[in-house]
Amino acid sequence: MKKFLDFISKIEVIIAIIVIVVIFVIWLILRKVQSNKYKKVLAELEVRYNQINSIPLAFKLNKAVAIARVDNVLLQNVALCKDDFDFATSNLKQISQTLADLEDALLIGKHKFVKNGLLDLESSIKLGEEQVGKLNAFLDEILEKETQQRAEVTELKDRFREIKNEANEKSHTLSYSWSTIEKNITNIENMFSSFEEWMYASDFEKSSLELINIKSSIAILEEIVKELPDLLQEATGVIPHMIDKVNENSARLTEKNVYLSHLNIDENVRVIMNSLRTDLDSLKKGDATNVKDHIEDYKSRLSLMLESLSNEEKSFDELSMLANNSGKLILEATTNSKYVKKQFEKSSVRFGLEGLDEEIKENDIKLEELDIKQKQVFEQIAKNELPATSVIAALKELYFDIEACNNSFISMRQKIDSAKSDEDRAKKQLLKLQLIMNEMQVKLRKHRLPSISSSYESDLIQGYEYINNIDNLIKETPLAVELLNVTLKDGIDFIYKLYNNVNNIVGMAIMVENTIVFGNKYRSTYPDIDSDLTRAELCFRNGEYTQALTIAIATIDKIHPGSYEKLVRSNGAHAS
């Protein structure tokens, strides 16, 4: 024992033991690393195996076998495919067994066995991927029709479900055709069932034909569900309402005695109603073919009828109003014609209007013709054998002709009336001017002005000359209206101006007299006042009224500044 202790206590022995322990630990670590590496590789290979094994080759092969039963060409290829399937299945089983063995060996540390087994497993999985990949591609190609049809039928089922839901939402508006819609829905559901049966039997040709029928039926159902609500609303609501409106307006206008025979309203409405009944039968059966075009045509024709009825009514009302106005207008023209002829006989020579004679005769003849023509048109209107839209053109032309004829008579009447008016006005103005001249004479005599300037004397004479000239012009035949108007205007301007001047002179003379009378009381007291008033009197007697007033006012201002205002007011009272 002592020798053993002495032996192991030697430094060389201790170092050797440490080295052995280190080497053992390193070996364990390396074994662990190698084991982990093998586990990782094994896990990756297992994933690849699972990917291969997850492909449903057996299911696809069974489908392919079922399809091959109805396809002789495909039958031989599927038979060869079975051998490939057996090889692939056998390889997959071998791979599964190898995976299990390697996992067990790895657990008990048979790394060399695992290393060699992984190499074989890699080769087997690679072979399996190639076998399964080719076989899967071949089977997918065979099953492609089924896959496509499955995807297509799924899409059609979703579309059918949406259309059916939409139909249920619109069931109220589709109630008129609901039995047909339900029948179509049932037929489509039966088609889907037939499709599944053909698919189960793997008869893809017949299932494909069934898909075509399903598509067509769904398209028809979709068209019915989308278009029928609007078409039914038009066919059962809008069109009947328009028909009622046409019939109502036609009856009202007929009662109003409006001519409507040319529009053939009853016949056109009857044709539309018969055609509409046929369209409603089609809609009830879910057939909207051409119905939309028919409804648009009905609406267009009914709108045209309503417009035509409205035009006839407007024309009838306008015709009635125009006939009434034409009757009144021809009476007015006749009245004007009689007036013009009567006044022309009286005044043509007096006013120099002999030139109107030919114009009066022409318009009188034209008026007689228009009167006859109007009676003919009125007789045509009374018979009510033509539409108002046709008659109104002739009546409008007649109305404008009567209006033109009447305007000619009005123009002639205005000429005659204007000449008479000028004469009457001249006579009235002459009388006024005579009164004004007399008034001026009276004022001058009443206020006994001591003196009037020679210019006023000549102005008075000229005023009387104007009056004499105007009087002579009025008495002349034919009456020179233009010369009379010019002379009258000049006479009025001159005499009124003279009248204002005379009023001013008389007023001024009164002011001078009042001023002198007011200042007389101061003559004895103020010698200079007496002297100034004497000068004012001299100017007054000489007709120098402005100078006399200036001196008199200045004299009074010396005594009572501003007193002349009383004199002005007094003058105003006397002058009035």
Which helix (H) or strand (E) covers residue 322, if one does? helix 291-351
**Is the pLDDT score of 280 beyond 50?**
yes
**C-alpha to C-alpha distances, 437 to 6, 30, 318, nearest whole angstrom:** 187, 160, 62
Same domain, 279 and 188: yes
Task: Provide mean pLDDT across the span 121-146.
Answer: 67
Same domain, 107 and 15: yes
Q: Which residue has the tokens 């769904």?
A: 218
Same domain, 457 and 566: yes
* Confidence grade of residue 22 (pLDDT, cut at 50, 70, 90): low
Task: Provide mean pLDDT across the span 259-263.
Answer: 78
Q: Which of 96-100, 436-440, 449-453, 539-543 has the lowest mean pLDDT?
A: 449-453
Residue with the bigger pLDDT between 397 and 208: it is 397
Residue 5 within any structural domain of the chain: no
CB neighbour list of residue 217: distance below 8 Å, 6 or more residues apart = 184, 187, 188, 191
Query: Which amino acid, one-letter code, is at 509?
Result: A
CB neighbour list of residue 291: distance below 8 Å, 6 or more residues apart = 231, 235, 279, 282, 283
**Is the pLDDT score of 295 beyond 80?**
yes
Dist. CA 420–CA 417, nearest whole Å: 5
- Alpha carbon dihedral 522, 525, 529, 535, in 10-degree steps, equals 90
- Most confidently predicted of 71-75, 85-89, 185-189, 218-222: 185-189
Dist. CA 394–CA 391, nearest whole Å: 6
**Is the pLDDT score of 486 beyond 60?**
yes
* Confidence grade of residue 575 (pLDDT, cut at 50, 70, 90): very low
Structural tokens at position 342: 């009567």
Q: Which of 192-206, 344-358, 365-379, 408-422 has the lowest mean pLDDT?
A: 344-358
Note the pLDDT of residue 538. Answer: 77
Dist. CA 311–CA 11, nearest whole Å: 137
* Confidence grade of residue 122 (pLDDT, cut at 50, 70, 90): confident
Same domain, 123 and 234: no
* Confidence grade of residue 571 (pLDDT, cut at 50, 70, 90): very low
Task: Provide mean pLDDT across the span 522-545.
Answer: 73
Dist. CA 391–CA 541, nearest whole Å: 89
Note the pLDDT of residue 418. Answer: 67
* Confidence grade of residue 451 (pLDDT, cut at 50, 70, 90): low
**Is the pLDDT score of 344 beyond 70?**
no
Residue 209 within any structural domain of the chain: yes
Residue 437 within any structural domain of the chain: no
Claim: this prediction has a pTM higher than 0.85: no
Residue with the bigger pLDDT between 540 and 490: it is 490
Residue 297 within any structural domain of the chain: no
Query: Which amino acid, one-letter code, is at 495?
Result: I
Residue 309 within any structural domain of the chain: no
Task: Provide mean pLDDT across the span 311-328.
Answer: 81
State the average pLDDT for the chain. 73
Q: CA 259: distance to chain centroid?
A: 35
Residue 127 within any structural domain of the chain: yes
Among residues 246, 166, 150, which one has the least CA distance to residue 204? 150
Same domain, 344 and 251: no
Same domain, 149 and 176: no
- Single residue among 237, 260, 289 that ends a domain in this structure: 289
Percent residues over pLDDT 70 in the chain: 64
**C-alpha to C-alpha distances, 463 to 108, 367, 506, 521, nearest whole angstrom:** 164, 50, 18, 42
Note the pLDDT of residue 272. Answer: 87
Dist. CA 565–CA 568, nearest whole Å: 5
Can you list the positions of beta strands (E) in 533-572? none
Same domain, 124 and 181: no
**Is the pLDDT score of 495 beyond 60?**
yes
Total structural domains in the chain?
4
- State the residue range of the domain holding 197: 170-289
Q: Which of 60-74, 77-91, 290-304 has the lowest mean pLDDT?
A: 60-74
* Confidence grade of residue 245 (pLDDT, cut at 50, 70, 90): very high
- Single residue among 423, 457, 485 that ends a domain in this structure: 423
Residue with the bigger pLDDT between 289 and 251: it is 251
**Is the pLDDT score of 248 beyond 80?**
yes
Same domain, 15 and 158: yes
Same domain, 338 and 196: no
Give the model confidence (pLDDT) of 469-482 as tens digits. 777 776 666 666 67
Task: Provide mean pLDDT across the span 329-349.
Answer: 72
Residue 149 within any structural domain of the chain: yes
Task: Determine contact, residues 375/250, Cβ cutoff 8 Å.
Answer: no
Q: Which residue has the tokens 């039966």?
A: 190
Residue 546 within any structural domain of the chain: yes
Same domain, 132 and 209: no
Same domain, 363 and 343: yes
Note the pLDDT of residue 224. Answer: 75
Same domain, 156 and 25: yes
- Single residue among 141, 162, 183 that ends a domain in this structure: 162
What is residue 171's three-state secondary structure? Answer: coil
Dist. CA 537–CA 531, nearest whole Å: 10
**Is the pLDDT score of 417 beyond 70?**
no
